[in-house]
Amino acid sequence: MSDIDDSEGVLHESLEHSLENVEADIYVDSEDVVGDIEKEKITTDVVKESEIVGYRQQPGKLPFSKPGSGGKNRFSKPTDYSRIPRSQGGSLEQPWGAHRHDDLISGQVIGKSTSLVDSNWKVTGQAKYGDDIRLPGEVIGRILRSPHHYARVLSIDISKALDLPGVLGIATGDDAPGKFGVLPVTKDEHAMAVEKVRHVGDLVACVAAIDEPTAREACRLIEVEYEVLDSIHDIKQGLEDSENPIHDRGKYHIGESNVQKRVFQQFGNISEMKDSSVASHDSDWTFTGVNHGFTEPHAVVAHWDPSGRLTLYTPQQVPHYLHRALADVLDIPMHQINVYRTFVGGGFGGKSDPFPHEMCAAILARKTGRPVRINFDREEVFWVNRGRHPSKISMSLHADSEGRLCGIETDALIDGGAFASFGHVTTYYNGVLHTAPYEIGAFHYTGARVWTNKPASGAMRGHGAVNSRCAVETGIDDLAEQLGVDPIDFRLANLLPPHSATITGFRVTSIGMRECLERVKEESGWDEKFRKMPLGKGIGIGCGFFISGSGLPIHWDPNKFPHATVHLKIDMDGGVTVHTGAADIGQGSDTVVAQSVAEVLGLPLDMIRVRSRESDTSPVDLGSYSSRVTFMNANAAISAAMEIRNELLEATSEITGSNIEGLVIGDRRIFNKRDPAVGVSYLEALHKAQEDRGALVSSGSYRTPPMGRAHKGAAAGLAPAYSFSAYVAEVDVDIETGQTKVEKVWAAHDCGKALNPLAVEGQIIGSCHMGMGQVLSEEMKYGRTGHLLNPDFLDYKIPTVHEMPEVTPIIVESNDPEGPFGAKEAGEGPLLPILPAVVNAVYDAIGVRVSELPITPDRLYKAIEKRCRSEGVKEPLDLEPPRLELTALQEILQSRAINHSRRDKERRLTDSPSPYHNGALFGLDPEIPGDEQDSRWAAVVIPPDDYLEDPGLAGSAWKHTERRHRSDVE
Amino acid sequence: MKEQNTQVVDCSGKYVVQYSLPMVPGPDKVRWNATVNGVNVDFFIDSNAILLDVLRDQGGSLGTKRGCDMGTCGCCSVMINGTPKLSCLVLAQEARSSSITTVEGLSSGHYLHPIQQTFAECGGSQCGFCTPGFLVVSAALLERNPSPTKAEIKTAIEGNLCRCTGYQQIVESISKASEILVSGKGIDDSTSSKSDPHPGFSGGLS
Ligand code: FES
Ligand code: FES
């Protein structure tokens, strides 16, 4: 032990020594160069004078001053050893084992709380969002929207509107008949109505005029003749055959119904597992639709320049897919379009589809020859929607006598609204994203997404996983209660280990679930509170699991192109320009990429500038969805920076004569590990490397490794890493009114490694806020005639600062082997656990299990009354809060959890652990996938006939036959 | 319903539409003056113009954001004679001759207002769209009450919506700024490499 300490001590000393050198090196005044060289000679006397000076000078001329160090304050703070891993001579603890990026950690910025690199733009009001782009000569675009839920457009007469002075152009569906959609398999949107309008607010025409009143008036003057069709609002009705299905998918259409996508998945033998169970939970959930509620309404500016190129300024999360869709709809090649991402005022998935209004702006700008700006009202934002799917989920969970989770049966019917959007993926996610973090005995999922005449649902933070996760976690709470065990201990005894495969074949690398659970348990004082608090006060737990990037890019074969690419350029000034297409939507992706580059090159953050706005200059990035940016983009940035790093090391080795292996990068200095006095400044090395070639450029990219299984749908939910989280919520329910207040939340999230803890905490707290809204107050309400009743922030109730609980964010760092410096996502996963944590806490408080969100006072009070009636209690205040009698199983679970904890630790510390497949807990060989050992574990993706005799609600979608398989349709 | 609109040319040679029902007659242009971020301005505005529109479209204060246009988000907050107001609910005429401070007017010269600094450093701003509103409201609070309690801070920002941060880091930012203001310490040296040499422009009203 003392040995190690000693050697560290030496290393520290020498590092410090080297820092002094840096100072000596940089405190140079131009008059004092000679003295300085002498100083250097003294401190670095191993190197000869001629080799020290990195600049070639004309003889007799005054020496150049050293460029680039400008300003009075030339030093960034000295290296902080607690940010450098032990393996590198620092003191950073690595309890999860070493990481392959450890030797790139220079202690500069990774892991430090860092303000966003663009924060000064934001706090001074200079950040330009969509509506802040003002081009000379701009005109205003307005959109005419459908007043009908579902109608055929018979004719559109624009003549009157065109005659209105000040109107410069009008476009209708005829101007752009091309279809688009975010997924190539389900392109079902048009820029404006072609043939039909499919929901109130669907686009019919658009107008460009000199100002907004004129544009509005012109919209009023457009005469549209509709033939109103029978609309569908009830999600169940979407399953049935219809005379006028909302879309026609040709031979792939499912029956004559409005089913857009259906999924059947079965792994393991569910009926056998059910038979062996001793506790079962069944619930039927209703989830209402939720909107993202980002503060910036959509806005777009389109401009065709004189060379015939389109520049589209838009707050987009996914500029690249928009780029593709624009090319399709406008019928021009992609290279003629420059998509410029403005600052994005919140996205959360709501700005990740290519949108029809973006097409409209481009079409109008082409028509009028002027820049066109379209800005939405808040109401229009609700019409565009793409929020979380309203859904009906039936959840059955089974546990056996050993306290194992032996079966999960899920049936999810989700309401897609009028368009497909990300729906294909959502339908899978509702099932597959709850196959972890627990080891399960059998999994059965049926899902269907139907079209209805509502604004389209789409991707929203926690895409597809949120609702069903809520159902699973509350179910587990119920199981634990039936078994007479603590729900946290129940979970701890059923976790998958690190480096394992889920029942559906997802590859789980790092997993910090256990630590998350242990931390929240301890910090919340769980043992003193759970089932022990008085009536009206409760505490509850919920967990989550989310993808960190999706394994498959939407638009291409992952084996052909990378998911993310980053370019770097360093010129004479020494500043690094990072070109990336990753869309910063406020989550801080620009900051993360800058941090990664700064870390690898040992530079302070202000020497890195990120250019991520324009498709003209940025390499393609898939965009900000599925929590992929930090993982993929930072990995790409690291590999680009490593290239430059190698060049710098080579140059240093040429100057100093030390060999490359012996060199390390510190704060703006490259030096010999053994003898830090031997080294050069960053600029010296850079200028040496630039000799004869000028600016250094490099490119790095990231692609996911091959993984997963081969059954249909195996790719949905496949990710290079997964994040885990566990929350404990404490609530106070006013039992006489049904009003729920969340008082405190302890939120532990395993993000692998917090590259910027400030931002990670911000994401955790922000997720709590958004999830709290869904569980307590937010709901898109549709009236009896199908109209959206609350398309504004007055009636759509987002929690204010007064409703926010005190959140204690707890960061768990499981050091993912493939993540950049060990990092995984932190943007979406943290939202999942808050819903079930609150629902479970409400149960703990008043003994009522809700199965409909949001838990508004009226809903909850009804449930309280129901409980009163069923127990024959007159006054709600006389109800008994639930209490827990532990059974013998509790101890069995606890000792299993202790064993598993040991197992997990061993597995994460070995470099290449043996495989572990879900099923080992049930007696299968962990090293062989379940289906290879026992044919009953094989994936089934087409429902067997006996299932169809009595299908679940969503499962009944399989009663239809796809048109291409039907004999009555050719 | 059929409408008969007539088009006439007004004295300036501009086409004007005279609407029959149900359009109300177009607004008159009226002269309007105010001090915006310390600069005296004098415009012709529509008599029914909303202050937010005047500030954004004519005043050059694009930092003042429009999130809802109906008083529900607080993004459009500005100070009118030191009191925070939702500019989307204020007729520009009501604010005539007043002194208006927008987010662009918070920094003084090269110095960021402490509240701007702490919002950046404590995570008070994620996407940043709500930030101008929060900054204005909390700057007004700190002016009145340099060391507010947590509850006072919450009350001050209750009309502002933030979808990203969950407010917690916003409240922290405001407390931190109050510490700086009270102690007078912690305001960055403008020459240090961290400070932004161009922290704000005065509304583009020169
Ligand atoms: S824009 Fe004024 S409050 Fe929303
Ligand atoms: S920072 Fe995005 S809304 Fe507040």
Task: With 0.95 as the threshold, say if the pTM is over it.
Answer: no
Q: What is the DSSP string of A71-128?
A: SS---PPPP-GGGSBGGGTS-B--TT---TTGGG--SSSTTS----TTHHHHHTT---
How high does pLDDT run on average in chain A? Answer: 89
Q: What is the DSSP string of A604-650?
A: -GGGEEEE-SBTTTSPPB--S-TT-IIIIIHHHHHHHHHHHHHHHHH
Reply yes or no on whether the pLDDT at A24 is more than 80.
Answer: no
| Rounded Cα gap, residues A298 and A344, in angstroms | 9
Task: Give domain status of residue A280, yes or no.
Answer: no
A570 CB-side CA count, 13 A: 29
Check if the beta carbon of residue B102 is closer than 8 Å to that of residue B136. Answer: yes
Question: How close is the nearest chain A Cα to the Cα of B44, in Å?
Answer: 16
User: Residue A382: its chain B contacts at CB < 8 A?
Assistant: none
At residue A899 the predicted structure's pLDDT band, cuts being 50, 70 and 90, is very high
Fold agreement (B30-102, B114-183)? no
Q: Which of A766, A723, A802, A342 is nearest to B123 (CA)?
A: A766
Query: How many angstroms does the Cα of residue A123 sit away from the middle of ligand 2?
Result: 11
| Rounded Cα gap, residues A388 and A467, in angstroms | 9
Q: Is B5 on the interface with A (CB under 8 A)?
A: yes
CB atoms within 10 A of CB A360: 28
A322 and A465 inside one domain: no
Q: What is the pLDDT of residue A540?
A: 97
Reply yes or no on whether the pLDDT at A654 is more than 50.
Answer: yes
| Rounded Cα gap, residues A856 and A469, in angstroms | 20
Q: Show the beta-strand stretches assigned E in chain B.
A: 6-9, 15-18, 29-36, 39-46, 77-80, 83-86, 99-101
Q: What is the pLDDT of residue A558?
A: 64
Looking at chain A, the whole-number percentage of residues with pLDDT higher than 70 is: 91
Query: Residue A729, exposed/middle/buried by CB under 10 A (0-12, 13-18, 19+)?
Result: buried
Looking at all shown ligands, the one closest to residue A315's CA atom is 2
A312 and A434 inside one domain: no
Looking at all shown ligands, the one closest to residue B74's CA atom is 1
CATH 3.30.720.120, applies to B30-102: no
Check if the beta carbon of residue A698 is closer than 8 Å to that of residue A568. Answer: yes
Instruction: Provide mean pLDDT across the span A397-401.
Output: 95
Q: Is B196 on the interface with A (CB under 8 A)?
A: yes
Q: Are strands A223-228 and A151-157 parallel, antiparallel or unpaired?
A: antiparallel
Instruction: Provide mean pLDDT across the span A151-163.
Output: 95
Does an H or E element contain A286, and which?
strand A277-287
Instruction: Provide mean pLDDT across the span B78-103.
Output: 96
Query: How many angstroms does the Cα of residue A608 sit away from the middle of ligand 2?
Result: 25
Domain extent for A58: 2-94
The least confident of A151-160, A443-452, A671-680 is: A671-680
| Rounded Cα gap, residues A353 and A181, in angstroms | 7
Looking at all shown ligands, the one closest to residue A377's CA atom is 1
Displacement of CA A617 from its chain's centroid (Å) = 24
Q: Is A345 on the interface with B (CB under 8 A)?
A: yes
Task: Give domain status of residue A960, yes or no.
Answer: no
Reply yes or no on whether the pLDDT at A157 is more than 90.
Answer: yes
A795 and A878 inside one domain: yes
Q: Is the CB of B129 under 6 A from ligand 2?
A: yes
User: Residue A128: its chain B contacts at CB < 8 A?
Assistant: 62
Q: What is the pLDDT of residue A28?
A: 35
Tell me the CA distances in angstroms from A63 to A31, A42, A66, A656, one per residue in order: 9, 20, 9, 21
ipTM of this model? Answer: 0.90
Q: Is B111 on the interface with A (CB under 8 A)?
A: no
pLDDT in tens, A795-812: 999 999 999 999 999 999
Atom of ligand 2 nearest to the CA of A122: 1
pLDDT in tens, A218-242: 999 999 999 999 999 999 999 999 9
Instruction: Provide mean pLDDT across the span B75-103.
Output: 96
Reply yes or no on whether the pLDDT at A902 is more than 90.
Answer: yes
From chain A residues 605-624, the ones with a CB under 8 A of any chain B CB are: 606
A212 and A308 inside one domain: yes
A672 and A801 inside one domain: no
Q: From A118, which residue of chain B is nearest by alpha-carbon distance?
A: B120
CATH code at position A602: 3.30.365.10
User: Would you state the structure tokens that stand for residue B76, as one six-digit string?
Assistant: 């459009």
Tell me the CA distances in angstroms from A490 to A399, A408, B74, one per residue in order: 10, 15, 45
Instruction: Provide mean pLDDT across the span A407-421.
Output: 95
A666 and A794 inside one domain: no
| Extents of the domains making up chain B | 30-102, 114-183
| Rounded Cα gap, residues A14 and A772, in angstroms | 51
A695 and A594 inside one domain: yes
Q: Are strands A608-611 and A576-580 parallel, antiparallel or unpaired?
A: parallel
3-state DSSP call for residue A225?
strand
At residue A48 the predicted structure's pLDDT band, cuts being 50, 70 and 90, is very low
Among protein residues, the one with the nearest Cα to ligand 1's atom 3 is B71
A640 CB-side CA count, 13 A: 31
Query: How many angstroms does the Cα of residue B164 sit away from the middle of ligand 2?
Result: 4
Q: Are strands A679-681 and A167-172 parallel, antiparallel or unpaired?
A: unpaired
Long-range contacts of A329-335 (CB under 8 A, 24+ apart): A329/A176, A329/A178, A329/A180, A329/A191, A329/A359, A329/A362, A330/A176, A330/A178, A330/A359, A330/A362, A330/A363, A330/A366, A331/A178
A823 and A921 inside one domain: yes
A847 and A927 inside one domain: yes
Instruction: Provide mean pLDDT across the span A144-154.
Output: 95
pLDDT in tens, A344-354: 999 999 999 99
Does an H or E element contain A523, and which?
helix A513-524
The DSSP call for residue A174 is G
Encoded amino acid at A397, one letter: L
Q: Rounded to 5 degrees, what are φ and ψ at A48? A: -75, 155
At residue A42 the predicted structure's pLDDT band, cuts being 50, 70 and 90, is very low
Q: What is the pLDDT of residue A843?
A: 96
Reply yes or no on whether the pLDDT at B191 is more than 50.
Answer: no
A323 and A462 inside one domain: no
Number of folded domains that form chain A = 4
Reply yes or no on whether the pLDDT at A884 is more than 50.
Answer: yes
At residue A678 the predicted structure's pLDDT band, cuts being 50, 70 and 90, is confident
Task: Give domain status of residue A253, yes or no.
Answer: no
From chain A residues 62-81, the ones with a CB under 8 A of any chain B CB are: 71-74
Reply yes or no on whether the pLDDT at A75 is more than 90.
Answer: no
| Rounded Cα gap, residues A418 and A543, in angstroms | 32
Angle at A637 between CA A631 and CA A638, to 5 degrees: 90
Looking at chain B, the whole-number percentage of residues with pLDDT higher than 70 is: 78
Last residue of a domain, one of A673, A702, A731: A702
Q: What is the pLDDT of residue B187?
A: 52
Q: Which of A858, A844, A764, A847 is nearest to A805 (CA)?
A: A764
Beta carbons of B194 and A606 less than 8 Å apart: yes
Cβ contacts of residue A142 below 8 Å, gap of 6+?
A206, A207, A209, A212, A215, A216, A218, A219, A374
Pick the CATH number of B114-183 from 1.10.150.120, 1.10.3470.10, 2.40.100.10, 1.10.3720.10: 1.10.150.120
pLDDT in tens, A702-742: 999 888 888 888 888 999 999 999 999 999 999 999 999 99
Query: How many angstroms does the Cα of residue A571 sit away from the middle of ligand 1?
Result: 44
Looking at chain A, the whole-number percentage of residues with pLDDT higher than 90 is: 75
pLDDT in tens, B101-141: 999 999 887 789 999 999 999 999 999 999 999 999 999 99
Tell me the CA distances in angstroms from B182 to A3, A33, A151, A728, B187, one per residue in order: 50, 45, 63, 36, 11
Does an H or E element contain A49, and which?
helix A49-52
| Rounded Cα gap, residues A398 and A400, in angstroms | 7
Q: Which residues line ligand 1 (CB under 6 A)?
A: B 66-69, 71-76, 86, 88
Q: What is the pLDDT of residue B25?
A: 63
Task: Give domain status of residue A257, yes or no.
Answer: no
Q: Rounded to 5 degrees, what are φ and ψ at A51? A: -90, -15
* Residue pairs spanning A and B at CB distance below 8 A: 203
Q: Which of B104, B103, B108, B105 is nearest to B187 (CA)?
A: B108
Reply yes or no on whether the pLDDT at B153 is more than 90.
Answer: yes
At residue A128 the predicted structure's pLDDT band, cuts being 50, 70 and 90, is very high
A151 and A44 inside one domain: no
A462 and A604 inside one domain: no
Last residue of a domain, one of A71, A94, A117: A94
Last residue of a domain, one of A384, A403, A438: A384
Check if the beta carbon of residue A724 is closer than 8 Å to that of residue A545. Answer: yes
Q: What is the pLDDT of residue A387?
A: 95
pLDDT in tens, A599-648: 999 998 889 999 999 999 999 998 888 899 999 999 999 999 999 999 99
Check if the beta carbon of residue A461 is closer than 8 Å to that of residue A348. Answer: yes
Q: What is the pLDDT of residue A54?
A: 41
